[in-house]
Amino acid sequence: MILDVHMHAWRFPEDFDMPSFRTHTLPERQRDYPEERLKPGWAVPPEMYLKEIEGLDIKGLLVGMYFGKTFGVNVSNDWMAEVVKKYPDKFDFVCDLDVEDVSAAVKELERCVKELGAVGLKLGPAYQNFKANDEKYYPIYEKAQELDIAISFHSGHTNPTTARLKYAKVLDLDDIAIDFPKLRIVVCHMGSYSYEDTVALMGKHDNVFADISPLVTFAGLDRRALNPLVPVVDYPYFHFLYPLMWSMSYFRPRDTTSKLLFGSDWPDCSPRTYVEILKYENMKALLKEYNLPPIPRGTLDAILNRNWRQVYPQVKRGAKKG
- Binding track, positions 89-118, relative to Zn ion; x by CB under 5 A: ------------------------------
**Closer to Zn ion by Cβ: residue 94 or 144:** 94
Instruction: Please state the closest distance from residue 8 (CB atom) to Zn ion, in A.
Output: 6
Instruction: Please state the closest distance from residue 123 (CB atom) to Zn ion, in A.
Output: 12
Instruction: Please state the closest distance from residue 52 (CB atom) to Zn ion, in A.
Output: 16
Q: Which stretch binds Zn ion (CB under 5 A): 106-114, 159-167, 193-201, 261-269?
A: 261-269
Instruction: Please state the closest distance from residue 248 (CB atom) to Zn ion, in A.
Output: 25
Phi and psi of 27, rounded to 5°? Answer: -65, 150
Torsion over CA of 227, 230, 232 and 235, rounded to 10 degrees? -170
Q: How far apart are CA 277 and CA 197, in angstroms?
A: 25
**Closer to Zn ion by Cβ: residue 4 or 265:** 265
Sheet strands (E) in the chain: 2-7, 58-63, 91-96, 120-123, 150-153, 185-187, 208-211, 260-261
Q: Which pairing describes strands 120-123 and 150-153: parallel, antiparallel, or unpaired?
A: parallel
Between CA 200 and CA 31, with CA 230 as vertex, the angle to 5 degrees is: 115
**Closer to Zn ion by Cβ: residue 63 or 106:** 63
Question: What is the footprint of Zn ion within residues 131-150 (CB under 5 A)?
Answer: none
Instruction: Please state the closest distance from residue 98 (CB atom) to Zn ion, in A.
Output: 18
Q: Give CA separation, 86 vs 14, 47, 78, 119, 155, in Å.
A: 19, 11, 12, 17, 31
**Closer to Zn ion by Cβ: residue 92 or 286:** 92
Q: Does 211 bind Zn ion (CB under 5 A)?
A: no
Of 225, 220, 221, give the one whose Cα is nearest residue 269: 225
CA–chain centroid gap for 81, Å, is: 18
- Binding track, positions 220-259, relative to Zn ion; x by CB under 5 A: ----------------------------------------
Instruction: Please state the closest distance from residue 266 (CB atom) to Zn ion, in A.
Output: 9
Q: Which stretch binds Zn ion (CB under 5 A): 155-163, 256-264, 265-273, 289-297?
A: 265-273
| Of the candidate residues 257, 262, 265, 283, the single one contacting Zn ion (CB under 5 A) | 265
| Contact indicator for 221, 236 with CB cutoff of 8 Å | yes
**Closer to Zn ion by Cβ: residue 9 or 286:** 9
**Closer to Zn ion by Cβ: residue 7 or 295:** 7
**Total residues contacting Zn ion (rule CB under 5 A)?**
1
DSSP 237-258: IIIIIHHHHHHHH--SSS-GGG
C-beta nearest to Zn ion: residue: 265
- The residue type of 251 is F
Instruction: Please state the closest distance from residue 265 (CB atom) to Zn ion, in A.
Output: 4
Beta bridge partners of 261: 211
Q: Under the rule (CB under 5 A), what is the footprint of Zn ion?
A: 265
